[in-house]
Structures are given as C-alpha cells and as structure tokens.
Amino acid sequence: MQKILKAMKAEAAYFTATSSGERGGFIVFDLADPSQIPAVAEPFFLAFNARVWFSPVMTPQDLANAVPAIEEVVKEYGKKS
C-alpha cells in the first residue's frame, strides 16, 4: 500500500469499512488529467483485486476559476424570467 500511495503522490489516505462490511478507504490526490486514471487504478486492481471509484472535487480556487464558465451556462440554459 505504501508503495502505491507514494507513486500516486497521495495527499492523504483514510481507511475504513464500507456500509456493506467490505474494506474501504478514501485517498486524496491530484489527478491532473483523466488519462492518469489507468495508472492510478491498475495497482489497486492487480495488488488487491479492488473496486475503484473516482470522485472529482475542487478547491476553493478551482471553484473561483470556474465562475466564468458557470455564468456562461446560466446565461445559456438558466430559466428565463
């Protein structure tokens, strides 16, 4: 596990049991490009026969950077008064 976490440059890792009683965890890392998904997921498949889910999140700065695109979508698709 340490080798995988180091390779993916994990910022944080938390391990738990899932609601269905399986081993689970949450790993926080920077996924700069979706093309990195296979390289991140494959070690978990091969080493642990794991199921992997990705949940993208944003920092406050990421959200601030998204404001122009959000405003554009609201203008285009928002409810018309």
pTM: 0.79
pLDDT of residue 79 exceeding 90 = no
| 31-43 pLDDT tens trace | 999 999 999 999 9
Position 81 pLDDT exceeds 80: no
Domain ranges of the chain: 2-77
Instruction: Please state the φ and ψ torsions of residue 16, each to the nearest 5 degrees.
Output: -155, -175
Sign of CA dihedral 44, 45, 49, 51: positive
Please give the share of the chain, as a percent, with pLDDT higher than 70.
99
Q: Which of 27, 30, 25 is nearest to 59 (CA)?
A: 30
Provide mean pLDDT across the span 3-28.
Answer: 96
- ∠ CA 60-61-64, nearest 5°, is 90
Judge contact between 56 and 40, C-beta under 8 A. Answer: no
